[in-house]
Amino acid sequence: MDYIVIRKGDDTDFSGRTIRIDLSEINLDMTGWTATFKLGSITQTFEEFEEDKFIDLEGFRVPETFSVGIIHGYLQLKDSDNKLMTILEIPFKVEEKLI
């Protein structure tokens, strides 16, 4: 299984790094949809991604309160009728802070 490796206390967008979620396999018109990403205490909301069907997570500092090991992030979509569905479970591997 592939994990997105993050380190406690580090920024996920250091040196232009981007964590991208690909929604191109969803063959629906996503106009008016929103998405919410949740990873532990981190929550990000996205709008207007319907054209390219990619969501780039905003950079965040990995909390030092995260436990070392595997943690799962979740992506939930809300359609234009306010119907919700959690569509992805994304595994992250949290590594210990080095300095």
CATH topology of domain 4-95: Immunoglobulin-like (2.60.40)
The pTM for the full model equals 0.90
What pLDDT is recorded for position 1? 67
What pLDDT is recorded for position 75? 97
Taking only the tens place, the pLDDT of each residue in 81-97 is 999 999 999 999 999 99
Taking only the tens place, the pLDDT of each residue in 1-45 is 699 999 999 999 999 999 999 999 988 889 899 999 999 999 999
Give me the DSSP letters along 44-91: EEEE--TTT-EEEPPP-BPPTTSPSEEEEEEEEEE-TT--EEEEEEEE
* Residues 6 or more apart in contact with residue 99 via CB below 8 angstroms: none
Enclosing H/E stretch for 35: strand 34-39
> Comparing 29-33, 55-59, 63-67, which segment has the lowest mean pLDDT?
29-33
